[in-house]
Amino acid sequence: MGTTEIRKVGVVGLGTMGAGIAQVCVQAGVETVGREISAELGEKAREKIAHFLGRAVEKERMTAKERDAALGRLALTTEIADFADCDLVIEAAFEDIAVKHELFEALDATVREDAILATNTSALSVTQIAAASRKPERVVGMHFFNPAPLMPLVEIVRAQRTSEEVVDAAYAFAQRVGKEPIRCNDTPGFVVNRILIPLLNDCVRVLDEAGVSVEDLDKAMRFGAGWPMGPTALLDLVGIDVHVHASEAIWSGLREPRMAPPPRLKAMADAGLLGRKTGRGFFEYDD
Ligand code: 3HC
């Protein structure tokens, strides 16, 4: 297991993260099949990938021929059965343990014995997800960061029963598609979110405590701490709902008050002010 060469990759769920991961794979020359629950959602993801590759052509970072070849490597499906010949399947579906368990059971019944099953979960325990598989040794976390095509890091998460061979194969694959992987244990938030989520929560608390405007808070962290983007702009990019969910999951694992999402973020999530994807969060967006 895990020694097979990864020729074909499956991606389950083509939302922001799944579409980004599929883009990374096809850009790196890997045949990829992406699965969404409807053909329309799959097509939307393909259009998004085509848009970003088109921008790369406009900026002369890629030729039109390379873009067409990359898009040609992307197949779309609504059927898990189409993952039968994949060497690696990366799950990037909804962050709900029941959904993940159903998917991993279906994947288990579909893929070859030596295929690797990875999850891009940021909030759930990889060990708990792997428990739905008859072969938890082949289940590993591959946690990409948003936007996946631009962020170099991938956390390769070793769950309780993941084999070292599978960890090594996932690590090598991340390197092959141009990423900078690290290895870590399956603890709440892994490495980056364990640090970043309470930090972003603190930033939101400071908004009220320090009587600073949203714009000035972002300015403070960009120009005083060298962040590439301000904390509220980052929360809008990640998605307020995604952040609140991940924050609650880390809080329930560690029970440290800083891990819990501030009421202001929960209220935004309840009100549907989710950031870029809904056109409004801390800021307004028209794209
Ligand atoms: N999404 C966005 N842009 C993409 C893209 C994609 N999927 N694929 C390609 N691109 C291209 C765009 O087309 C754009 O070019 P264009 O403007 O000509 O169209 C280009 O990449 C990005 O250009 P920018 O000028 O916006 O790039 P920046 O130099 O400003 O960098 C950034 C953008 C990389 C997002 C930078 O601001 C940054 O590093 N921000 C921090 C992001 C971060 O911290 N992410 C982690 C979030 S936490 C997380 O993901 C964990 C999860 O579990 C919650």
Report strand pairing: 88-91 vs 74-77: unpaired
Model pLDDT, residue 265: 98
**Which is the catalytic residue, given 120, 125, 163, 193?**
193
Is the CB–ligand 1 distance for residue 234 below 6 Å?
Answer: yes
Distance from the alpha carbon of residue 147 to the mean position of ligand 1, in angstroms? 5
pLDDT in tens, 194-220: 999 999 999 999 998 999 999 999 999
Query: For residue 69, how far is its CA from the centre of ligand 1 (angstroms)?
Result: 23
CA distance 158 to 162: 6
Catalytic residue among 91, 155, 245, 247: 155
For ligand 1, what atom is nearest to the CA of residue 51? 13
Q: Look up 155 and say whether it is catalytic.
A: yes
Q: Which of 31, 91, 95, 143 is catalytic?
A: 143
**Apex 86 CA angle, 81 and 91, nearest 5:** 75
Gap between the Cα atoms of 265 and 226, Å rounded? 24
Average pLDDT over residues 236-243: 97
Task: Kindly state if the Cβ of 195 falls inside 6 Å of ligand 1.
Answer: no
Q: What is the pLDDT of residues 60-73, one digit of tens each?
A: 999 999 999 999 99
pLDDT tens by residue, 124-161: 999 999 999 999 999 999 999 999 999 999 999 999 99
The residue whose CA is least distant from atom 49 of ligand 1 is: 145
Rounded distance, CA 184 to CA 181, Å?
10
Is there a catalytic annotation at residue 125?
no
Average pLDDT for the chain: 96
Instruction: Give mean pLDDT, residues 269-286.
Output: 97
SS (H, E, C) the chain: CCCCCCCEEEEECCCHHHHHHHHHHHHCCCEEEEECCCHHHHHHHHHHHHHHHHHHHHCCCCCHHHHHHHHHCEEEECCHHHHCCCCEEEECCCCCHHHHHHHHHHHHHHCCCCCEEEECCCCCCHHHHHCCCCCHHHEEEEEECCCCCCCCEEEEEECCCCCHHHHHHHHHHHHHCCCEEEEEECCCCCCHHHHHHHHHHHHHHHHHHCCCCHHHHHHHHHHHHCCCCCHHHHHHHHCHHHHHHHHHHHHHHHCCHHHCCCHHHHHHHHCCCCEHHHCECCCECCC
Contacts of 62 (CB under 8 A, 6+ apart): 53, 56, 70
pLDDT for the residue 123: 87
CA of 11 from ligand 1 middle (Å) equals 20
pLDDT-derived band of residue 2, with 50, 70 and 90 as boundaries? Answer: very low
Output the CA 81–ligand 1 centroid distance in Å: 33
- For residue 24, give both structure tokens: 């990374």
Indicate whether 4 pLDDT > 70: no
Catalytic site includes residue 51: no
86 Cα to the center of ligand 1, angstroms: 28
Report the atom number in ligand 1 closest to the C-alpha of 48.
7
143 flagged as catalytic = yes
